[in-house]
């Protein structure tokens, strides 16, 4: 069974325990569980990793690039947390594994928040972006990945 990788960056391990007005009450364990269940339903094994370390995320993206080349991985959904707004290294890592599809996902609508959250270093390297759907955004991102790279509506047009 092909895989989809879900990556979560710094502080997302705190999901559901603080700042519920911004991020809701769902924990990261809940998110990972419903992503795995959804993946199973649509025929993908979902693997999840959260790290507070930029380098660990970059190492995993490099490994994902190898898995993609080997035909084992469809793509990656990443919520890079605040690294979104600071990390050129993450941008370079995603560019470095092109054409591996990487979907950037944010729980909150970053564009309706502080100015410093409006810029993303990840977006220019991403295959798609999901913003502001709460934790359901992870499912939207998974479905978007599958629709764009497997079941494209465009491929079904007469
Ligand atoms: O909206 C998102 O998903 C963010 O990626 C979350 C990041 C934030 O820096 C981005 O601007 C937008 C914050 C992740 C920290 O998550 C927490 C969750 C609960 C309590 C504290 C932090």
> What is the tens place of the pLDDT at every residue in 93-137?
999 999 999 999 999 999 999 999 999 999 999 999 999 999 999
3-class SS of residue 114: coil
Angle value at C-alpha 67, between 65 and 69, nearest 5 degrees: 70
Task: Please list the active-site residues.
Answer: 23, 106
* Structural domains of the chain sorted by starting position, each given as residue range(s) with its CATH number in brackets: 3-147 (3.40.50.9100)
Nearest CA to ligand 1 atom 19: 15
Which pair of tokens denotes residue 73? 């991985």
Task: List strands edge to edge, sheet with 45-50.
Answer: 45-50, 3-8, 73-79, 102-106, 128-131
What is the reported pLDDT for 158? 54
Instruction: For the full predicted model, state whether its pTM sits above 0.85.
Output: yes
Enumerate residues lining ligand 1, CB below 6 A.
11-12, 14-15, 18-19, 23, 79, 81-82, 84, 106-108, 110, 117
In 3-state terms, the chain is what percent helix, strand and coil (to 5)?
A: 50, 20, 30
Residue 43's pLDDT band (cuts 50, 70, 90): very high
Write out the two tokens for 57: 């995320």
């Amino acid at each position: 069974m092909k895989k989809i990788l879900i990556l979560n960056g710094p502080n997302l391990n705190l999901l559901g325990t603080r700042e519920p007005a911004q991020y809701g009450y769902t924990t990261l364990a809940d998110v990972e569980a419903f992503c795995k269940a959804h993946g199973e339903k649509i025929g993908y094994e979902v693997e999840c990793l959260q790290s507070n370390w930029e380098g660990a995320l970059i190492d995993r993206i490099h490994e994902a690039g190898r898995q993609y080349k080997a035909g084992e991985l469809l793509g990656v959904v990443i919520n890079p947390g605040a690294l979104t707004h600071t990390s050129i290294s993450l941008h370079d890592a995603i560019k470095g594994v092109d054409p591996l599809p990487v979907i950037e996902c944010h729980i909150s609508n970053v564009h309706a928040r502080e100015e410093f959250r409006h810029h993303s270093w990840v977006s220019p390297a991403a295959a798609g972006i999901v913003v502001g759907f709460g934790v359901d955004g992870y499912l939207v991102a998974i479905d978007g990945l599958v629709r764009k790279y497997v079941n494209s509506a465009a491929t079904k047009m007469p």
